[in-house]
Amino acid sequence: MPRGRLDDAVAEGRLSRLRPVAEPVAAAPPDRRVVAAETDPGRPLTAAEARHLGRVRRIVAEHPVVADVAVCLVAAASLLAFAVPDLVGHWAGDARQWVGLAGMLAAGGGLALRRRQPLATLVIVTAGSVAGSAGQWPVVAAVPAVGAAVYAVAAARPARVAWAALAGALVALLAGSLAWPTAQQTGPGWTVSRWGPIPIGVAGGGTAPPGDPSTGGAATGTLDLAVLGPLSVRDLLTWIAMAMAGVVCLAAGASVRARRERVDALVQRSAARVLAAEQRARLTSAEERAVVAREMHDVVAHSLSVMIALADGARASLDRDPASARDALDGLAERGRTALADMRRVVGALREEHPPTAPQPTAQDLEALVAGFRDAGLPVRVLRTGPDLPDELGLTVFRIVQESLTNVLRHAPDAHEVDVDIHVDTDVSCVTVTDDGGHVTRPVQRPAATAGRGLVGMRERVALHQGTLSAGPSGHGWQVRATFDTTRSDT
């Protein structure tokens, strides 16, 4: 409706005549159990949740034996129903009828194997139906049993196997029905074809009563349906219907197979998702443990080494220079308080899920770090060249210098020269810490640096930035050198 006419309708009170716009139909909500399992990374999806069975199908799935017995009973009942006329009125007890009866019963009972051996079940059912043809019982009686067997094959085997099995069953049934006479006389006025007892019609389509005087008490005439060669028109239509029924059963089984495959894929994907989440959790936990181990080592080793050096210095100067001893003791106490605060920070990060982010030391804090080692007696010199280090390298450089100076204080406390060289370039940056070894007159090996946790922690820190680390003797002293690709760090 144009805007002007709509305004007029509103003004005149005729708005109620307008048809309301239908609300869009909301889509059916997904199964809450499946959504919960898909969104919960720690909960795998079960097959029962993925299948989302209704009440009847759930009962069948929970009681497969009862379902199999019911299928066998239905199939046997349909087979015997077609044989009732012969069993009641025309049972001769010859070998053919006994073979046919045994075949029909075998066809019905063979369905008990349809879950475990679907192909064998189809063979048994088909063979039993062919044996029933020997007893002149209709082949259509085997349609329910053969259909159930074809369904079982399609639900358990690939499509090409199911189609081949269906074709083989139809060919076997057709061959068995053609192997026996088309009809046989079973009584006055009646004949038994492969489709069941039918009356013999007189000329014109009527039925002659049994013992018609005009025929001398014998039933004569022709069949109601003309036989065209080995198969009549009725035969042909019946076979087409049987083939279509087989295709329908095959399609139903293939649909069930596809659904099972989808369910298995969902369950496997859910299990893989849970496993991946567990692996990520383990990796994250391992990374966190490595970080905590490095931090604990750096804090404890550095602080204790400085505290030991300050304590030794205070003891040595206590008698000759009490003021220096008092300054050393003050530094010792301050270093202890700093170490305790660092320890609490690391432990607090372990206890809290989202710990407060305390400021981490960077390259800008090197002066305070070096001042602490100078107070402990190390003659440290710092040389910086180039621009400032990238922020992501600041903590790593700080910890490398801290660990290297701690090793010098521990293994060469009387060193005369300790140089810290930080060179920053646009391509490659390096940090070098070198000492002269003090009074040592030959190259030394430092066990704590070569086999201890300190070198491992430094290598891990450098590896996080795709850098390289080398540590070894340099003259009479020791040298630690870390190299970083600054271009990679910038990106």
Residue 41 lies in a domain: no
Q: What is the CATH number for 433? A: 3.30.565.10
Is residue 216 helix, strand or coil? Answer: coil
Residue 26 lies in a domain: no
Residue 135 lies in a domain: yes
In terms of Cα–Cα distance, which of 435, 446, 481 is closest to 462? Answer: 481
Domain count, the chain: 2
Cα(158)–Cα(434) distance, integer angstroms: 72
Residues 259 and 391 in one domain: no
Spatial contact of 177 and 131, defined as CB atoms under 8 Å apart: no
More confident residue, 24 or 98: 98
H helix runs in 41-158, sequence order: 47-51, 55-62, 64-89, 95-109, 118-134, 143-156
Model pTM?
0.47
Q: Which domain holds residue 180?
A: 55-205+221-271
In terms of Cα–Cα distance, which of 258, 74, 250 is closest to 153? Answer: 250
Residues 244 and 115 in one domain: yes
Is residue 227 helix, strand or coil? Answer: strand
Give me the pLDDT at residue 85, please.
62
Residue 348 lies in a domain: no
Residue 88 lies in a domain: yes
Cα(407)–Cα(472) distance, integer angstroms: 12
- The whole-number average pLDDT for the span 145-155 is 88
The CA-CA-CA angle for residues 273, 274, 280, to 5°, reads 90
Encode pLDDT of 99-131 as tens digits. Answer: 777 777 777 777 878 888 889 888 888 888 887
Encode pLDDT of 298-321 as tens digits. Answer: 777 777 777 887 788 778 877 788
Q: Is the pLDDT of residue 419 over 90?
A: yes
Spatial contact of 292 and 350, defined as CB atoms under 8 Å apart: yes
- The whole-number average pLDDT for the span 176-180 is 70
Residue 142 lies in a domain: yes
**Mode of pairing for the β-strands spanning 231-232 and 196-201:** unpaired
Report residue 445 CA to chain centroid gap.
Answer: 52
Radius of gyration for the chain, computed over Cα atoms and rounded to the nearest angstrom: 47
Q: Is the pLDDT of residue 372 over 90?
A: no
Cα(161)–Cα(146) distance, integer angstroms: 16
Residues 262 and 147 in one domain: yes
User: Tokens 């989808």 map to which residue?
Assistant: 262
Task: Return the DSSP state at 19.
Answer: P
Residue 340 lies in a domain: no
The H or E element that residue 326 is part of is helix 322-351
More confident residue, 116 or 136: 116
- How much of the chain exceeds pLDDT 90, in percent? 9
Residue 172 lies in a domain: yes
Spatial contact of 297 and 457, defined as CB atoms under 8 Å apart: yes
Residues 249 and 398 in one domain: no
